[in-house]
Amino acid sequence: MEPIKTLIGDLNGLVWGPPMLILILGTGFFLMVGLRAMPLVRLRYGFRMLWAGRREQGKGDITPFNALMTSRDHRYRQYRGRRHGDCYRRSGGAVLDVVHGVGGNGH
């Protein structure tokens, strides 16, 4: 049991040690240069928006979370080359189709 603990400890030190620190800091530096320090320049604006809170929603407005999830879903489907309902049609109705409210065998 002791050799396994030693092996795991050595791997943990290697993975989360200086190489990982260099990769994390290097990625941050690369992104900061590529974005022309935009995260630092817009930091005050970001905090102002964060603490301002949300305005009252009118009819047809969606929450920022729903907007993010809609965008994420679109990107994912675009990446996977799928359109709405493709998964349901290919499976012969074995997958729940949330929009049309059917599942199982298509009924």
Q: What is the Cα Rg of the chain in Å?
A: 23
With vertex at residue 40, the alpha carbon angle to CA 46 and CA 63, rounded to the nearest 5 degrees, is 20
Per-residue pLDDT tens digits for 38-94:
989 998 988 887 787 667 767 777 777 787 788 777 666 666 665 555 554 555 544
Q: What is the pTM of this model?
A: 0.43
Q: Residue 107 pLDDT more than 50?
A: no
Place 28 in a pLDDT band, splitting at 50, 70 and 90. very high
Q: Position 59: which residue type?
A: K
Q: Which has the higher per-residue pLDDT, 52 or 106?
A: 52
